[in-house]
A = this chain, B = another copy of it.
C-alpha cells in the first residue's frame, strides 16, 4: 500500500479576543466596513482549528503522521501562542495585520509549515463560528 496518499486531520481549538481594524482608514470607514467586529473593546470567539497533513503512510507504522505528535505540535506552535489571548494586543503576528479569519488561517499555516516534513502537504481550516469558516491553501 506504499504509494497511496492519505490525508490525516487533527481537530483542536482555542479561545481568543480580537478586533477588526485597518489603521490606514478613519474611524468612520472602519465602522462602516467592519461593523460590530470593529468594537474598540474587542469581542471574541471559540476558534475551531482543523489541521490536514497529506502523504503516503509509513509501511511499518501505517501512519501518515502520528496524530498525537501532530496534536502536540499544534499545541506548542499555535495554541500556546493564541489560546486565551487578545490577538491584537498580545501577539507579535497581528501587531500590524488585521486578524480576520483569512489572515489567522494563513498565519497558522506559516507557523506550522516548517515543522511538517517537506514531502507532506499541509492545509488549515479555521472556524471563527459554526457558520463562518475559512481554509488555506484553497
1/0 per position for A91-116, CB-CB distance to B under 8 A? 00000011111110110000000000
Report A17 CB to chain B, min CB distance, Å. 4
Given known contacts A1-B106, A9-B133, A54-B138, is B15 in contact with A44 (CB within 8 Å)?
A: yes
Interface residues of A in 1-38 (CB under 8 A from B): 1, 4-13, 15-18, 20, 22, 24-25, 33-37
A97: chain B residues at CB < 8 Å are 1, 62
Interface centre among A22, A55, A64, A131 (most CB of B within 10 A): A131
Would you call A138 and B22 a contact (CB within 8 A)? no
* This chain's copy number in the assembly: 6
Q: How many chain A residues have a CB neighbour from B under 8 Å?
A: 68
Given known contacts A85-B41, A102-B62, is B130 in contact with A46 (CB within 8 Å)?
A: yes
Taking the complex as formed, is A67 at the interface, i.e. its CB lies under 8 A from any CB of chain B?
yes
8 further A-B pairs in the complex, CB-CB below 8 A; given A7-B138, A42-B44: A7-B136, A8-B133, A13-B130, A22-B61, A42-B86, A43-B84, A43-B85, A64-B134
Interface residues of A (CB under 8 A from B): 1, 4-13, 15-18, 20, 22, 24-25, 33-37, 39, 41-46, 54-55, 57, 60-64, 66-68, 83-86, 89-90, 97-103, 105-106, 121, 129-138
